[in-house]
């Protein structure tokens, strides 16, 4: 495909995609069936990594209006679209975004596409691990702050007037339990911060090694 033709397809496909989004579904109405550019529709589906079986939906839609999709044009357009979808850099982008992998690429492109996708997927998983550990650390810090606040309140109660001896014993017991809980959370925080260092280092290594 020439560069000029590719730009034309990309622009037209973007308009078609917008139309589908506005409709909220992938069905074709009477006018769309009658005026369909089946090569363009095939290109759009290929560039989106859709299965060839989607043309069956168009066949059902258009049969209601006595229109038969031009399969030769559709398949030719889809083959061109797949060449865009199956580029290695797109595979990396999809993996890095945590998107699923569509098994639609022709054999000549599938190897490089999957390799790039896997590289992106590793980055995505490494980044997700870092974010999850950050979240757990923040949660533990909030828990520790809450325990410290409760402990301060218990200490204030302990030195208050009018307490009976059994009440003071109960407060001392509760303070001891709080202290144990705080130590447990602090120990987990140390482990999480160590994990975070390891995860960040791995993410940085993967990012440096990326060639996409």
Q: Is 103 helix (H, G, I), strand (E, B) or coil?
A: coil
Tokens of 124: 């995505």
Burial of 202 (C-beta count, 10 Å sphere; 0-12/13-18/19+): middle
CB neighbour class for 169 (10 Å; exposed up to 12, middle 13-18, buried from 19): exposed
Confidence at residue 18, expressed as pLDDT on a 0 to 100 scale: 38
Mean pLDDT by groups of 10 residues along the chain of 212 residues:
49 42 59 94 95 93 94 96 97 96 94 97 98 98 97 90 88 95 98 98 95 87
pTM: 0.77
Q: Six-digit token pair at 85?
A: 């979808």
Tell me, what's the pLDDT at 26? Answer: 57
Nearest to 46 by CA among 81, 73, 70, 74: 81
Where would I find the H helices in 86-106? 88-96
Alpha-carbon torsion 4, 6, 10, 16, what sign?
positive
């Amino acid at each position: 495909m020439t560069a000029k033709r590719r730009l034309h397809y990309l622009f037209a496909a973007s308009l078609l995609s917008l139309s589908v989004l506005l409709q909220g579904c992938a069905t074709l109405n009477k006018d769309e069936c009658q005026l369909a550019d089946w090569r363009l529709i095939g290109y759009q589906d290929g560039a989106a990594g859709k299965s060839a079986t989607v043309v069956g939906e168009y066949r059902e839609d258009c049969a209601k209006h006595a229109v038969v999709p031009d399969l030769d044009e559709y398949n030719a357009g889809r083959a061109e679209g797949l060449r865009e979808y199956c580029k290695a850099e797109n595979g990396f982008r999809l993996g890095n975004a945590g998107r699923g992998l569509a098994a639609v690429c022709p054999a000549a492109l599938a190897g490089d596409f999957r390799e790039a996708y896997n590289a992106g997927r590793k980055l995505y998983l490494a980044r997700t691990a870092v974010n999850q550990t950050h979240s757990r650390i923040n949660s533990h810090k909030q828990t520790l702050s809450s325990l410290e606040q409760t402990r301060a309140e218990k200490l204030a109660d302990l030195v208050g007037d009018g307490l009976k001896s059994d009440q003071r014993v109960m407060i001392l017991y509760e303070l001891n339990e709080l202290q144990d809980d705080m130590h447990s959370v602090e120990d987990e925080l140390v482990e999480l911060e160590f994990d975070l260092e390891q995860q960040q280092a791995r993410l940085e290594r993967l990012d440096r090694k990326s060639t996409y």
